[in-house]
């Protein structure tokens, strides 16, 4: 099946099968007679096969997988004519949109090398991304509107593993990354499906409490951080399993550790320091320090990648304001692993974080029925970007600030108070 | 990339690259800025990567590959609910139809295990095939109408190789099948592209002669065979490279040895015996004997796979009538190899053959401008199926029958007369 050596044989087959089961039963909660559309890197083929099996066992009517291939992607950058970089497979995305519109579920396996295109012409990468975003929009809207149950999980692609564990031989790096994915995805437990039920209940308990408190703001204090994040009017906290518009309760992300909501775009004040490096499109941005005034970033520096950070902030007006604030305890399994995954699906779940840019409409009470103007009026930010970065640690305290100015401990030394 | 041992390393990489080049330059004649939609078995990944490279080098704007996987196909038969077998990925085929309508070229890599489904419930196989045929029809019409340049070539999938060479170790079987594919595809020559130009000229010479003769019928005689195949009004013979409606000259099949045209759906009389086994979707159908009256199969039997044959004939009204008749000398390289490939792309090119089912509109004079009704009025058959089976050998003679009843020898003892 390949000319390259086989690193997948180092991945524990029993745990991989449990991951497949969790993806189907917990991630998707795939329904009887529901169709499934899957995308995956070629290297994730062993997981694709197991997910397909579990999907059919769960009653799937049909499972279709579209593979991406790092080598053919690079082949395009090496050999394709210039006009290629304004093209995208619109026919495929239109087909996917049609599948979702007729009720198919969606599963994406993440695991491509995050640095794959770092050696390519940035202008071509940007054009190809833009063409793809435009072509993918009709399909993506079914996901971002939460029309259907969907899930992202991940596979330890060798090219990703060697980035996460640069000092190790490839097979050892794959094994280490596989173990980290398995632990974060709770498939190292005896009964992973039960462990997820418990975990979802815990996340729901937190978001229910926060929704009951209806804080006006959160106040973060820690080394280099004294930040007040005003929350949007009518904000709603979410976390763990959610109900899609098709009525199916699913876990869109495996793993997930966060409860999150929408900040008020005009009401963020003070300064904040990042607590982990941020991997952004092939660049590492480290030791970020930012000051907000009236919700807007007015000062920003970083010990590494400052130039890229400043470019990101200049994307549009909304790029200097917050679209998300999320709470993750310092003891979360991903944080405890100490691994930097170079992958937001994992790294954002290792720490409390904020995101510059676009907010989620579902993080408003009755969000599905709000117009863009109403969302903006309630303090929801809008931008082309949504970039999460980590501001939590075992040295950070968080208070909830009520509308009358009284305070409630939310986290102490990185843990729920 | 796989848990199974790697048999692809036994395939000669230089010849595989020549096959990729022939597929792109001769098979597709891919045009600058043309999109390419490819389908392939997962095992053919090394060839997919080489074809993708050569496609981009030839100026392809975008290459998209959809992989099939024998294991997930079997998973469906083992685990999916009953209703699954009436489903097909219509969303994908509709997307492909859209790609072809907007000018994409089409390449299919053959190589799946022809016996893959032989152990499965034939009723489920038939239902799944029917659902797939119906869903695929809008896309297939662009191919059968020759709207675009397209090609089928093949890769020595280990599961196919062990079927063709059952006595050999897998790696040896793959090597033997690879060599047979390379020879039949003329990539064992010093200059394969030049060899194909010469071969195409030879096939054109034969079809030009047959088009000049304008026979009313062909009369096949041989052991168990006395068959008169009336030819459609305004039929046209084709062979080798042809011009698609988008103006591109391509070789739809690599390999190809046949010249072929459209029979008259109402004017086939007599009986005929197959001369080689037919591998049809996982079942071997052997020693077929069929009797035609008024163009329609009125009696059919087979020593093996008769049940499947009878089911095929019941697909629709057109499944009992002919859509193609093709002439291949017994001395063709594929025939000379003596190998039964269990794959129509090869086996049909080892022998004169007929096909039950859909005709090709391009096998009519000015076929591109004919409506479906006009094609039917001239004797062109229509059906969901198109199944070629072999009726030629070194014991079969063929006469051309002119409209005045006079006869011209076309083949004697399997060779051009
Ligand atoms: Zn988040
Ligand atoms: Zn986020
Ligand atoms: Zn043929
Ligand atoms: Zn045919």
A48 and B80 within 8 Å at the Cβ level: the answer is: no
- Residue B276 contacts residue B390 (beta carbons within 8 Å): yes
CA distances from A362 to A153, A209, A243, A414, B344 (A): 21, 18, 11, 26, 54
In this model, does residue A239 exceed pLDDT 90? yes
For residue B6, the model assigns a pLDDT of: 55
In this model, does residue A6 exceed pLDDT 60? no
pLDDT, tens digit, 9 for 90 and up, residues B199-222: 999 999 999 999 999 999 999 999
Give mean pLDDT, residues B268-293. 92
pLDDT, tens digit, 9 for 90 and up, residues A352-364: 999 999 998 889 9
Give B388 Cα–ligand 4 centroid separation in angstroms.
5
For residue A5, the model assigns a pLDDT of: 44
Residue-averaged pLDDT of chain B: 94
Chain B residues whose beta carbon lies within 8 Å of the beta carbon of residue A61: 80-81, 83-84, 87
* For chain B, percent of residues with pLDDT exceeding 70: 98
Give mean pLDDT, residues B5-26. 87
Residue A293: phi and psi, rounded to 5, are -135, 125
Q: Which residues of chain B are in CATH 3.40.1830.10 domains?
A: 8-184
Give mean pLDDT, residues A322-331. 96
Confidence of residue B144 (pLDDT cuts 50, 70, 90): confident
| Interface test mutation site (partner A, options B30, B31, B89, B91, max chain A beta carbons within 10 A) | B91
B104 touches chain A (CB under 8 A): yes
Confidence of residue A260 (pLDDT cuts 50, 70, 90): very high
In this model, does residue B7 exceed pLDDT 60? no
Give mean pLDDT, residues A279-306. 92
> Residue A316 has what DSSP assignment?
-
Give mean pLDDT, residues A158-170. 93
Chain A residues whose beta carbon lies within 8 Å of the beta carbon of residue B50: none
For residue A384, the model assigns a pLDDT of: 83
For residue A329, the model assigns a pLDDT of: 96
A75 and B69 within 8 Å at the Cβ level: the answer is: no
Given the cut 0.85, state whether the ipTM is greater than it. yes
For residue A4, the model assigns a pLDDT of: 41
CATH class of A8-184: alpha beta
For residue A7, the model assigns a pLDDT of: 56
Give mean pLDDT, residues A314-335. 94
Give mean pLDDT, residues A377-391. 93
Any residues with CB less than 8 A from the CB of A179 and at least 6 apart, and which? A12, A188
pLDDT, tens digit, 9 for 90 and up, residues B82-95: 999 999 999 999 99
pLDDT, tens digit, 9 for 90 and up, residues B99-108: 999 999 999 9
- Residue B330 contacts residue B392 (beta carbons within 8 Å): yes
Confidence of residue A1 (pLDDT cuts 50, 70, 90): very low
The tokens for A143 are 């996901």
Interface of A with B in 81-100 (CB under 8 A): 81, 83-84, 87-92, 94-96, 98-99
A8 touches chain B (CB under 8 A): yes
Q: Are strands A217-222 and A225-231 parallel, antiparallel or unpaired?
A: antiparallel
The C-alpha atoms of residue A268 and residue A354 are separated, in whole angstroms, by: 11
- What is A346-389 written as a DSSP string? HHGGGS-EEEEEPPPGGGBTTGGG--HHHHHHTT----S-EEEE
Residue B20 to chain A, least CA–CA distance (Å): 14
pLDDT, tens digit, 9 for 90 and up, residues A34-46: 999 999 999 999 9
- Three-state secondary structure along chain B? CCCCCCCHHHCCHHHHHHHHHHHHHHHHCCCCCCEEEEEEEHHHHHHHHHHHHHHHHCCCCEEEEEEECHHHHHHHHHHCCHHHHHCCCHHHHHHHHHHHHCCCEEEEEECCCCCCCCCCCHHHHHHHHHHHHHHHHHHHHHHHCCCCCEEEEECCCHHHHHHHCCCCCHHHHHHHHHHHHHHHCCCCCCCHHHHHHHHHHHHHHHHHHHHHHCCCEEEEEECCEEEEEEECCCECCEECCEECCCCCEECCECCCCCEEECEEEEEEEEEEECCCCEEECCEEEECCEEEEECCEEEEEECCECHHHHHHHHCCCHHHHCEEEEEECCCCCHHHHHCCCCCCHHHHHHHCCEEEEECCCHHHECCHHHCCHHHHHHCCCCCCCCEEEEECCCCCCEEEEECCCCCEEEEEECCEEC
Chain B residues whose beta carbon lies within 8 Å of the beta carbon of residue A57: 79
Give B20 Cα–ligand 3 centroid separation in angstroms.
23
* For chain A, percent of residues with pLDDT exceeding 70: 98
The helix or strand, by DSSP H or E, that contains position A198, with its residue range, turns out to be helix A192-213
Neighbours of ion ligand 1 (CB under 5 A): A 258, 260, 326, 348
Residue A278: phi and psi, rounded to 5, are -110, 125
A81 and B33 within 8 Å at the Cβ level: the answer is: yes
For residue A156, the model assigns a pLDDT of: 95
- The dihedral sign for the CA sequence B80, B81, B86, B91: negative
Residue A176 to chain B, least CA–CA distance (Å): 18
What is the CB neighbour count within 10 angstroms for residue A372? 10
């Amino acid at each position: 099946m390949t000319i390259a050596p086989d690193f997948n044989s180092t991945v524990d087959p029993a745990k991989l099968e449990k991951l497949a089961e969790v993806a189907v039963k917990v991630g998707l909660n795939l329904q009887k007679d529901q169709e499934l559309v899957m995308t995956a890197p070629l290297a994730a083929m062993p997981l694709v096969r197991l997910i397909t099996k579990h999907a059919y066992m769960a009653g799937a009517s049909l499972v279709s997988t579209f593979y991406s291939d790092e080598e053919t992607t690079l082949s395009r950058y090496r050999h394709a004519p210039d006009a290629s970089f304004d093209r995208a497979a619109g026919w495929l995305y239109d087909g996917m949109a049609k599948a979702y519109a007729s009720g198919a579920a969606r599963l994406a396996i993440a695991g491509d090398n995050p640095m794959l295109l770092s050696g390519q012409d940035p202008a071509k990468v940007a054009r190809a991304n833009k063409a793809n975003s435009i072509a993918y929009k009709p399909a993506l809207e079914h996901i971002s509107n939460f029309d259907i149950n969907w899930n992202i999980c991940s596979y330890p692609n060798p090219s990703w593993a060697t980035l996460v564990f640069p000092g190790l031989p490839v097979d050892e790096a794959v094994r280490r990354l596989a173990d980290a994915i398995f632990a974060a995805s709770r498939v190292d437990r005896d009964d992973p499906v039960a462990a997820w039920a418990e975990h979802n209940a815990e996340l729901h308990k937190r978001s229910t409490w926060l929704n009951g408190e209806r804080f006006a703001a959160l106040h973060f204090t820690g080394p280099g951080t004294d930040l007040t994040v005003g929350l949007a009017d009518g904000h709603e906290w979410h976390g763990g399993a959610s109900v899609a518009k098709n009525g199916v309760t699913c876990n869109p992300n495996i793993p997930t550790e966060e409860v999150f909501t929408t900040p008020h775009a005009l009401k963020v004040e003070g300064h904040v320091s990042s607590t982990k490096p941020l991997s952004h499109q092939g660049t590492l941005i480290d030791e970020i320090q930012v000051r907000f005034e009236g919700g807007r970033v007015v000062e920003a520096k970083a010990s590494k990648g400052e130039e890229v950070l400043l470019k990101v902030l200049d994307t549009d007006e909304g790029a200097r304001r917050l679209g998300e604030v999320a709470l993750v305890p310092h003891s979360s399994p991903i944080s405890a692993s100490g691994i930097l995954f170079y992958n937001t699906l994992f790294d954002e779940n290792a720490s409390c974080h904020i995101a510059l840019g676009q907010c989620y409409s579902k993080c408003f009470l009755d969000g599905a029925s709000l117009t863009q103007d109403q969302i903006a009026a309630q303090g929801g930010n809008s931008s082309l970007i949504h970039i999460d970065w980590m501001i939590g640690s075992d040295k950070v305290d968080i208070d909830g600030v009520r509308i009358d100015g009284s305070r409630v401990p939310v986290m102490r030394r990185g843990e729920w108070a």
